[in-house]
Amino acid sequence: MDQKTKNARILFKVLTMFTAMFFVMAVVYGIMNGNLNDMIPGFIRILKTPSQCTQDMYGVSVPGTFFNMGMCCLLMLLYIVCCGGMNSVNSGTVAAFFLTVGFSSWGMNVMNMLPLMIGMQVYAAIKKKTPASMMNLGIFATAIAPIMSEVVLRWPGYADGNGANMSNLAIQPQGFIIAFVIAILFCLFYPALCAKAPNFHFGCDLFNAGPPAGFLCLMTIGFLFKVTNVPLPSNGPGQSAVEVFEFVLIAYLIVFVLCFIIGMMIDKDALKNYGKLIKDSGYGSDFIDKYGIGATLINFAVYGIFILCFYTVMKYCFGAKFSGPIAGVVWCAFTWVAAGAHPLNVLPIGIGYVLISLVSTVLCPQLGLGADAGRLGMSTVGILIAFSYATGMAPISGKYGVIWGIIAGMMHFAIVTLIPLQYDFFNYYNGGFTAGVVSFVLVPFIEHYWPKLAEK
């Protein structure tokens, strides 16, 4: 067995460990709070709840949400196995896995994932590609999963007076047919656009699948709602009053510590190699190939703790609530932990977010600019979610310097809440799309006026 295959098997086992964690969390939380009997019914209600961004599935069921996260992970593992991809797990698979599980506490579920994953295999069959070669992109295709839930649960019936803000809706059998048609059409376009996406963001948006998902989602919503003149629905359940910060923090820390231990055990040079990894720009990087699986697993641990610390600071310094979406976006921020993101190149983006939020919440009120209601700050759920995708611009701070990373974070903050209005919150990759737009604007500007930076 060659080293690449060994690494793939190790990564698969690590992903299995994370999957087990969510099931354990579901059971333990249910026992601790006396609502274990709501785990499966809560999971079923989640399946039958519209999933536009950003739902807080804690409001439906907390143990059901953790169980749903585990089920989404399990589906991805089974998908990898069925595609014959256990020996092909790589940094891209890790990215797809964590990005997807990040959504599963605020809308993603096995029902709205499956049509798109199957759709990508239809594309593979048409193009005569191996199932394993399209495995990662099949998971990334779940970006428009909210549309799958929409056509299965509401479209276009909610317009007849059934209400928009509903959960536990009846499933429309004909909706599955519509979902599979949309999924197959989406997957016929998606790989082609993803292949060309770096030309749009110059390789500086790690969420390479974000811009293609945004453009295709816009087209899909246009046909579903504008052409048919069916009214656009509003979001489902809003932010719940449930917060389980300490419970989530402890569970996540345990698996991060385990990653550190595993990394040290499988590579005696892991710490030395991690010293090199932490200096990497993140531009076009695959940490597993460059620094080894041991150092990469240490990055799992260190970067994961860094992200937890960031959101903890936001909670205690700015009053942010550790709701369902925030418990999920820890994993969205974790997406590129094996392929470009580490604490040193993500920190400037976080600083940029905090600085521009202070302009919005402190300076602007002092200057008498705008109304205080609805101001965006680091306690706003949408902004906290958006930061997890802003981390995809890590190559900007890594390649061009800390100052440009801070500026990139500020720019992302400024426009990230505008973009989803174009497709009514039906695209989970909104922040990745926004990162692509920022890169499209900022990178040419940097290289035009400071050409020496482009040579790094």
| Tens-place pLDDT, residues 390-444 | 999 999 999 999 999 999 999 999 999 888 777 677 888 888 889 999 999 999 9
321: its two tokens: 């609530």
Q: Which residues contact 78 (CB under 8 A, 6 or more apart)?
A: none
Per 3-state DSSP, what percentage of the chain is helix, strand, and coil (rounded to 5)?
70, 0, 30
Mean pLDDT of 238-251: 81
Q: What's the DSSP call for residue 48?
A: T
The answer to pTM > 0.85 is yes
User: For residue range 281-329, what is the model confidence (pLDDT) as tens digits?
Assistant: 999 999 999 999 999 999 999 999 999 999 999 999 999 888 888 889 9
Backbone region of residue 292 per phi and psi (left: phi > 0; alpha: psi in -120 to 50; beta: other values): left
384: its two tokens: 């906290």
pLDDT exceeds 60 at position 236: no
**C-alpha span between 352 and 398 (Å, rounded):** 14
Give the pLDDT band of residue 340 (cuts 50, 70, 90).
very high
User: For residue range 254-266, what is the model confidence (pLDDT) as tens digits?
Assistant: 999 999 999 999 9
At residue 208, the pLDDT reads: 87
Give the pLDDT band of residue 158 (cuts 50, 70, 90).
low
User: For residue range 65-110, what is the model confidence (pLDDT) as tens digits?
Assistant: 999 999 999 999 999 999 999 999 999 999 999 999 999 998 899 9
**C-alpha span between 64 and 328 (Å, rounded):** 14
Give which of 126, 43, 93 is closest to 288, Cα–Cα.
93
